Every structure is written in structure tokens, then in C-alpha cells.
Amino acid sequence: MFQVGKLSGEDHSSIVLPVNFADVAKDHYLLTALPYAIQLLEYKVKFSFDKKIDPKADMLDHGENGGAYLQGLTSHLVKGKIKKWKSEKGAFAKGKSQGFRYFLKIVKGINPKFFKLKKDDNPMELAFGKAWDRHKGYTKKVLDLCILALKKCKIDSDTVKSWSKSIEDLTKEFGISSEWMKPTKMITEFEIKLILGDKKEDKPKLNPIFSSDITDPFGGIRSLDQQVHQIHKVWGPAKKIVNDIVDDRMRFIYSHAENKKAVSKKNKPKLEVLISNVKKDPKFFRVFSPQRAAGVHHTLTAFQLPGLPDNDKQLADSEAMIQQWTKTHKNPEAQAVSGAILNWWRLTINE
């Protein structure tokens, strides 16, 4: 029973139902939903007059929660149209979300991460328990037909918009906020300006564009997807440099011998203290100088300095060393770097 195929001499698909289907359909959510699925799939119905179905023996018991889940899953089939998202909880909401997730599988080029979806579950396991595969009845076959029919449902742009995550959530989801542009103890505003260059006056952001274009209800989502890709393309390299610099500095600070002694479960000094502890290390100037922010840390030899100057003469000697380093690298990049280093150096001394 519930076999689908083309009979001899017919050009359409038919489904074979038990003769008592109408009498027992009300006893199981999947059987209740099946007529709607058959209509969407445009199957012709054939009855097997010598076979009957016993819902208790031939269909798995879904229980209260399982029934609510299946009701939500198949709710889109009733009108053949994907239902709008609502702020709902429980098994029905999970099923409704899973039904929309199945529908999305036929939409090309759409990332499910744009939508307010529940966890992707196995409907058979969620509705009937982990032992569902031991059952030899018709439950899985009927569910598969309902899932197939979900992909035949219609949808409009308002429904797509209702399922779409908020711009705030999408900003977090795809990592496109501008938080990384803010100066911290690990990277200065000056360095961020060096990294951003001409883009320093702009900020990455998403602009929602939902229209009632009936030819493509997902046009608004496709627009957001294109924006996400463009933002990553434009801002990704700068963001990576910022993150790499911050990560390297954090590793340097916390792996330093001075700070290993200072940090414990009971004693957690402020970041400013940990930074101060490593300033005498010559490596500090390589790790914390704006050289990388200027975009040349791979092309120029890192300069070495003995330590933080204690007086004006040492500061003058250190500045002379930086100037000499600049002369060694006779290119425009070196000129920009030397200016950046000198400015950073003086700020560091005056802290």
C-alpha cells in the first residue's frame, strides 16, 4: 500500500490506498495530512479493495509531542503554501520549521543561515523515538510522501521576510559587525586607521531589500547574500590583519615568563599591568609596533631595539636607530612605517 507509480496506459502517477483509508485517516496525523500531499503531488488515487490498514499496528504511535511535531511539519500542506513564521515554541514550532527547511532544499543558491530555523532534526526519530527503524509498517513511507509534497508548496516574499533573521542577528551570524574597528588595549586607533586606509570613514553594514517580486520571492535574501559576500571581500583582509595582530600580542603577553608568574586562578592582573610587565623585552617593540598595521611586516626586516629608553639621550639614540633602519629600506613603504613607528614610540614613552 501507499505505492506510487504509473499504471499501464496512463500518463500520470497514481497512489494505492487501503480501502478503509477514509475511516482511519483521522487516527494519525500523517494519515490526516496525506490527502493534502496527494493533491499537491497531483497523484490519482487508486484503492486496494482487498487490503485494509490498522493504524495501531501499521503506523507508529506518535504520542502527544510527536503528534504536535507532525502537525507542525505538515501544516504547510493544508493550503499548499508555506506558512508565515510566528514566535512559537514547542513541538509544533519545531515541526513547522522542519517543514520550511525541507522546502528550502528546492530553492537554488539560498543559505539556510539567513532564516529563523530550529535545529535540523530527523522527523522520524523526533516524532516516534530512536527505535522507529525497527517498525515494518507504513509510517516512513507516508512521511516521505508528505516531505516530497512540501517541496511543491508555494511561497511569497512576505512569508520569506517573516522567516528571515533580523539584520542584527545576521550581522552577528556572518561576522560583519564593525566591532573589530574599535581600538583596544591590544591595538590602537592609529594602527586601525593605517589598516583601513581609504575605508576608514565607512563601516560594513547590511541593507535589507525585500520586494513583492512574485518571480523571485527570495530576491531580498539573494540581495543580502550578495551584500555579505561583498562585505567579506572588501573588509575581510583588513579584519584579518587586525585579528592577527591582536592574537599575536595576546599570545606574547600571556606566554611571557614575567606574566606566567603573575597570573594564577586567584590573581588575574589587569591587561595594562601585563603589558607593562613585558615592555622591557626587546621583542615587545617588534610585536607591538605599528609596522604590521602599515601592511609591510612581510616585506621589511624587523628592527631591533634594546628596550624602553629611560632618558632623553636613550630616546634620541633609539630614534636615530629607527631613522637608520628607514634608510636601509629605501622605498615609500619604509617612509610610512618609520613615521608610524616614531609616533607610536613617543606615545609609548609618555604613557
Pick from 110-114, 271-275, 318-322, 334-338 the range whose average pLDDT is largest.
110-114
Pick from 85-89, 134-138, 252-256 the range whose average pLDDT is largest.
85-89
Grid cell listed for 4: 506510487
Residue whose cell numbers read 592582573: 269
Confidence check: pLDDT of 332 > 70: no
Chain centroid to Cα 177, Å, comes to 13
- Of residues 222 and 194, which shows the higher confidence score? 222
268-288 pLDDT per residue, tens? 888 888 888 888 787 887 788
Chain centroid to Cα 44, Å, comes to 42
- Please tell me the predicted confidence (pLDDT) of residue 57: 84
As a whole number, mean pLDDT of residues 45-55 equals: 87
Spatial contact of 221 and 164, defined as CB atoms under 8 Å apart = yes
Burial class (CB within 10 angstroms; exposed 0-12, middle 13-18, buried 19+) of 321: middle
| Three-state secondary-structure class, residue 316 | helix
- Please tell me the predicted confidence (pLDDT) of residue 199: 65
Residue closest to 193 by CA, chosen among 299, 326, 343, 305? 343
Confidence check: pLDDT of 232 > 70: yes
Confidence check: pLDDT of 7 > 80: no
Burial 38-70, CB ≥16 within 10 A → b, else e? bebbebeeeeeeeeebebeebbbebeeebbbbb
Grid cell listed for 191: 594602527
Least confident of 19-28, 129-138, 180-189, 328-337: 328-337
Grid cell listed for 212: 513583492
Confidence check: pLDDT of 297 > 90: no
Please calculate the CA angle 253-259-265 and round it to the nearest 5 degrees.
110
153-211 pLDDT per residue, tens? 999 999 999 999 999 999 999 988 888 999 999 998 888 888 887 665 567 888 877 76
For the chain, the residue count is 351
Confidence check: pLDDT of 253 > 80: yes
d(CA 233, CA 253): 31
- Please tell me the predicted confidence (pLDDT) of residue 298: 47
Least confident of 16-30, 74-88, 188-202: 188-202
Residue closest to 92 by CA, chosen among 118, 115, 120, 56? 118
To the nearest whole number, what is the mean pLDDT of the chain? 85
Spatial contact of 106 and 147, defined as CB atoms under 8 Å apart = no
Confidence check: pLDDT of 303 > 60: no
CA atoms lying within 13 Å on the CB side of residue 277: 18
What is the layout of strands, in order, in the sheet containing 44-48? 4-6, 13-18, 44-48
As a whole number, mean pLDDT of residues 8-13 equals: 79
Residue 215 burial (CB count, 10 A): 5
Q: Name the pairing type of β-strands 13-18 and 4-6.
A: antiparallel
d(CA 52, CA 54): 7
Non-local CB neighbours of 13 within 8 Å, separated by 6+ positions: 4, 5, 6, 41, 42, 43, 44
98-144 pLDDT per residue, tens? 999 999 999 999 999 999 999 999 999 988 888 787 777 889 999 99
- Find residue 188's DSSP bridge partners: none
- Of residues 60 and 76, which shows the higher confidence score? 76
CA atoms lying within 13 Å on the CB side of residue 101: 18
